[in-house]
């Protein structure tokens, strides 16, 4: 497995070893020991799968308190996946990274606690999988509007298909600091 750091400390791109032949391929999507050695903090307690059509944008989501770390990947199709540092006091607060995840490149993205997450589908359809370090809690879920001009995320489309909730989230600067995670130096 190849592990690449991003410009946001803790957000990692993982490229699992893929074993291919004329029958197809095999890859390991999770191995606790191997992933912990790569810096992935668990334990993971919930797995989710979503199906979306081209142009759908989901996000930017986070939970606080009760944040979730996520290990995400695409099982079918292609997305542009985005992680945004929303930890108050972080030197990279409001910065983001994006990565193309697809069934062709088999990449995974690890998004640690304290980050908002979203993705946009660029193929006809996509099946998206994510492992979470805490359970979904509707009482602590929140989000940032996808087109926050202060973040200036370079999404692949200008008029995505959004849920009403995602379309009406606030800008990051309008969220109270006590409603966001806080940066802790190690």
Active site residues: 61, 130
Alpha-helix runs per DSSP H in the chain:
32-37, 164-167
CA dist., res. 52 & res. 68, Å (int):
22
Which pairing describes strands 57-63 and 12-15: parallel, antiparallel, or unpaired? unpaired
Full DSSP string of 76-99:
ESEEEEEEEE--BT-TTTT-EEEE
């Amino acid at each position: 497995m190849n592990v690449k750091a991003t410009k946001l400390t803790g957000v990692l791109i993982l490229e699992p070893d893929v074993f291919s032949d004329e029958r197809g391929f095999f890859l390991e999507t999770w191995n606790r020991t191997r992933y912990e050695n790569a810096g992935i903090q668990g334990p993971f307690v919930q797995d989710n799968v979503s199906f979306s059509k081209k142009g759908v944008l989901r996000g930017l989501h986070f939970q606080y308190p009760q944040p979730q770390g996520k290990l995400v990947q695409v099982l079918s199709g292609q997305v542009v996946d985005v992680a945004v540092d929303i930890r108050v006091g972080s030197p990279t607060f409001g910065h983001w990274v994006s990565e193309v995840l697809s069934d062709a490149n088999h990449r995974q993205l690890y998004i640690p606690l304290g980050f908002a997450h979203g993705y946009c589908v660029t193929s006809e359809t996509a099946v998206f999988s994510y492992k979470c370090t805490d359970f979904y809690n509707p009482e602590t879920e929140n989000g940032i509007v996808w087109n926050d001009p202060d973040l200036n995320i370079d999404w692949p489309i200008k008029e995505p298909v959004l849920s009403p909730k995602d379309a009406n989230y606030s800008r990051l600067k309008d969220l109270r600091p006590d409603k966001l995670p806080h940066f802790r130096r190690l």
